[in-house]
């Protein structure tokens, strides 16, 4: 009889762990950053960075942020990455609610297990600032400043 109770408790515990959104997805997500040209620096508005694209950064799922990609001699590009409700996270949160109640669901929301970052791959094309300056000079030199 005791072994059956232990088995039942183990099965319930296992079901709780599997159904928890935080245990299913984790609280962090890897986001990939690429740029044309490669070799740019990525900095996020919440303090994460990588020094050379292409790169991957493990980021908290529950925080939207702005990623700034820059390289000397090229335009700086910014991309918004949003923390949005996840389908898999919602299923896990439902499991948490059924097994662990409001407290377990609150934990999933607080820790970010019910969210995902979108987009999860950021790709930018930066323009050469040298080429832009030369184009401006060419445009100015083609202007007829002294005609009536």
What letter does residue 143 receive in the DSSP assignment?
A: S
DSSP state of 126: P
Distance CA 148, CA 143 (A): 12
Question: Pick the residue with more confidence: 56 or 113?
Answer: 56
What average pLDDT does the chain have? 75
More confident residue, 13 or 4: 4
Output the CA–CA distances (angstroms, integers) from residue 92 to 27, 69, 82, 108, in the order listed: 13, 34, 20, 8
- Inter-residue contact 21 to 92 (CB < 8 Å): yes
Q: Which residue in 43, 47, 111 sits closest to 79, CA to CA?
A: 43
**What's the rounded Cα separation, in Å, for the pair 69 and 37?**
11
pLDDT tens profile 65-114: 999 999 999 999 999 999 888 755 444 444 444 444 444 445 555 556 67
Q: What is the pLDDT of residue 101?
A: 46
Measure the CA–CA gap between 83 and 15, rounded to whole angstroms.
27
Of all residues in the chain, the percent with pLDDT exceeding 70 is: 53
117 or 26: whose pLDDT is higher?
A: 117
Share of the chain above pLDDT 90, in %: 41
The pairing of strands 65-70 and 55-60 is unpaired
pLDDT of 125 over the 60 cut = yes
Q: Please give the average per-residue pLDDT across 27-49, as a whole number.
A: 95
At 97 the pLDDT is 45
Kindly tell me if the per-residue pLDDT of 19 is higher than 50: no
Task: Please state, as a whole number, how many other Cβ atoms lie within 10 Å of the Cβ of residue 71.
Answer: 19
pLDDT at 144: 60
Whole-number pLDDT of residue 6:
64
């Amino acid at each position: 009889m005791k072994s059956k109770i232990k088995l039942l408790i183990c099965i319930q515990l296992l079901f709780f762990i599997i159904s928890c959104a935080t245990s299913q997805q984790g609280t962090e997500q890897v986001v990939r950053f690429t740029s044309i040209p490669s070799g740019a620096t990525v900095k996020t508005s919440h303090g994460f960075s990588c020094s050379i694209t292409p790169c991957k950064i493990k980021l908290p799922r529950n925080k939207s942020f702005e990623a700034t990609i820059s390289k000397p001699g090229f335009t700086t590009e910014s991309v918004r990455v949003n923390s949005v409700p996840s389908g898999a996270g919602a299923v896990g949160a439902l499991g948490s609610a059924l097994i662990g109640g409001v407290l377990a669901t609150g934990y999933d929301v607080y820790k970010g297990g019910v969210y995902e970052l979108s987009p999860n791959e950021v790709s930018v094309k930066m323009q050469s600032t040298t080429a832009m300056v030369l184009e401006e000079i060419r445009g100015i030199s083609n202007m007829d400043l002294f005609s009536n």
